[in-house]
Amino acid sequence: MGSISYSPLNQARQEIRLICLHPGQWTDPISINLTISSLHSAKLPFFEAVSYTWGDPSAVIPVIISEITVSITRSVENVLRRFRFANSVRLLWIDALCINQNDIAERAVQVKLMDRIYSRASRVLIYLGEADHRSDRAMDAIAERKTSTGSIQNLVLEFFETRQWFQRVWVLQEVALATYALAICGSKCVPWANFPAWWAQNAASLQDKSPPSALAYNPVTNKSFLEQLHDTRASRATDPRDKVFALAAMSPPEDRLFIEPNYMKPVASIYIDVAFKMVHHYKSLRILSATQPLYGQVCPEFSGKLPSWVPNWSKESALTSLGLSNIYREPFDAGGSTAFTRSEEDNNKLLCYGALLDIITETGKACPFETSGGESVAQVLTEWNRLASSVNGTHSQTSSRLGQGVFFVGEQFFIVGPAQETIWPTFRAVPTPTLELTPEELAKREAGPATMEDLKFCLGRRFLMTAGGLFGLAPPQALPGDIIVILLGAPVPQVLRKHDGYYELVGECYVHGVMGGEALADLKKDITQIVPEHRVRPFYKDISGNSGLTLDWFELR
């Protein structure tokens, strides 16, 4: 069996290949030809771009391309059979065939053109796969754009969860840039606009559900590249590099400086370069809130070791970010808006300016991820209550420190601060006597209103206490002896672990009383005089009113 013979493309003319899909019945052999067109041409032919999933690369079947029999994947075969006309040629763009996948340089060039390809296409055909006994009913419900009943709603949700197309990161660009998009599943066709419309119509009963990224993405919001990386973290890509490259066309123009498709560079190098450029270009350390705790181990998806301060975008974060989430009334601002860093020849190192806030002396158990059968969670929160009580020795004193005490969220409980400072400001406070409840009594409490979004902030984290009497929430890997620092330009405090000559980033944390920038109040008045000379001197008073905290450099690796 032969291989596809690709003629070279003229990069200056932004040339692309198109497929001429010859007519036939469903069971007829597939026959196609490749033709070259220029995106610069005013006479670009009418063509349709296909959005689909690659599927299993080992499942291949033979097709005839330019009179040569070659192998294509089963998923591409299904696309061609489903979209083939019975009596006329159809002009399509399909990445697996129109890009020479064995030419790494060409792949990089064509990836940069994909925004123009999908926006210049007459329409985008979204192939969701062949039908089964449940998908037709789901497609019919979406086509109606009405509020669905419980059973139909569950059917549609199952459809979103089981169709792999909704999990791909590339589909965000493909549907966002389309002039018109049509979704096809088997013989059912529904305009793409119906899909987000169905979710919006049923949103009231889906409050504890997160829509697939393709449904949630709004190109009008013009989010930063970092926010898009964070929002699409659960999406999948066959090549981990594409978790970065797929977002290029949807990012603000200034962010595209960080996204130069290059499939010859190791994945780790791409992630490090992007993180380094974002920190130094925007003078912000918000990216630290996207790191997995202690993420310095070798990643199974690619060779290479990531520094602890660089997010691994190929992995979904287990914790809900404190510094990047957008569901607060007011975002946290512990470290101000401007970072001060030193450039190093080694991009694996990040030199940050900030202050040591305190040392962790005790941590509670991590709040489990289960959201039902609240006994185990209640036991953890009871332990947190005990730790909080020891801050000042008595429940009455502790409840005064906590302000509102314990917030009740269904079967879950959280240690938080005064209403204006808490992570969970939208829910009612439980009276102080709740602090005295046993785990069994806590588990019997009735569930309140929709609270899943707020619940996520506690799951996986552990209660922390410091030598100076501060308390809050720490990442699960935090240990006694780790330090808490406030880094300039980081919205939330960070937990660091000291090594010989450098620090490892353990993860972001919540520390009651400093999340709004209180610790930096004096610094903000005089910041331009402090940082340029890189002087190390006391710059603010701690929350007890005693001065002595100092600015210093922290080298992260």
> In the structure encoding, which two tokens stand for residue 406, read together?
């314990």
Find tokens 């209403």 and name the residue: 419
Residue 248 — φ and ψ, nearest 5°? -60, -50
Is it the case that residue 162 has pLDDT exceeding 50? yes
Q: Once rounded to an integer, what is the mean pLDDT over residues 383-409? A: 46
**Tokens 């389309």 — which residue?**
178
Residue 382: the pLDDT is 65
Give pLDDT, residue 294: 43
Residue 248 C-beta-side C-alpha neighbours within 13 Å: 22
CA distance 55 to 71: 14
State residue 262's pLDDT score: 93
CB-based contact 192:182 (threshold 8 Å): yes
Whether the CB-CB separation of 482 and 495 falls below 8 Å is answered with: yes
Buried b (16+ CB within 10 A) or exposed e, 540-552: bebbeeeeebebe
pLDDT on residue 395: 37
Quote the pLDDT of residue 368.
Answer: 74
380-397 mean pLDDT: 57
Q: What percent of the chain has pLDDT over 70?
A: 74
- Over the chain, what is the mean pLDDT? 79
Question: Quick one: pLDDT at residue 411?
Answer: 31
Higher pLDDT, 37 or 203: 37
On the question of pLDDT at 513 being above 90, the answer is: no
Q: With CA atoms as reference, report the closest residue to 244 among 234, 258, 264.
A: 258
Higher pLDDT among residues 386 and 544, named by residue = 386
List pLDDT tens digits, range 214-226.
Answer: 877 666 556 788 9
Highest mean pLDDT among 185-194, 274-283, 390-399: 185-194
Measured on CA atoms in the order 417, 420, 426, 430, is the torsion positive or negative? positive
- 377 band by pLDDT with thresholds 50, 70 and 90: low
Position 182 pLDDT exceeds 50:
yes
pLDDT at 300: 54
Q: What secondary structure does DSSP assign to 458-525, as a single string?
A: HTT-EEEEETTS-EEEE-TT--TT-EEEEETT-SS-EEEEEETTEEEEEEE-EETT-TTSGGGHHHHH
pLDDT of 488 reads 94
* Cα angle for residues 123, 126, 132 (degrees, 5° grid): 145
Sketch the domain layout of the chain as residue ranges.
15-121, 368-459
Could you tell me if 538 and 442 are in contact, meaning their C-beta atoms sit under 8 angstroms apart?
no
Integer Cα distance of 77 and 27 in angstroms: 11
5-9, 329-333, 344-348, range with the lowest pLDDT: 329-333
**Over the stretch 416-428, which tens digit does the pLDDT of each residue have?**
333 233 333 322 2
CA 251 – CA 245 distance, rounded (Å): 10
Give the residue-averaged pLDDT of 542-555: 65
Residue 224 CB-half CA count within 13 A: 12
For the chain, give the percent of residues with pLDDT over 90: 46
pLDDT score for 76: 94
Query: What is d(CA 171, CA 242) in angstroms, rounded to the nearest whole number?
Result: 12
Give the pLDDT of residue 171.
92
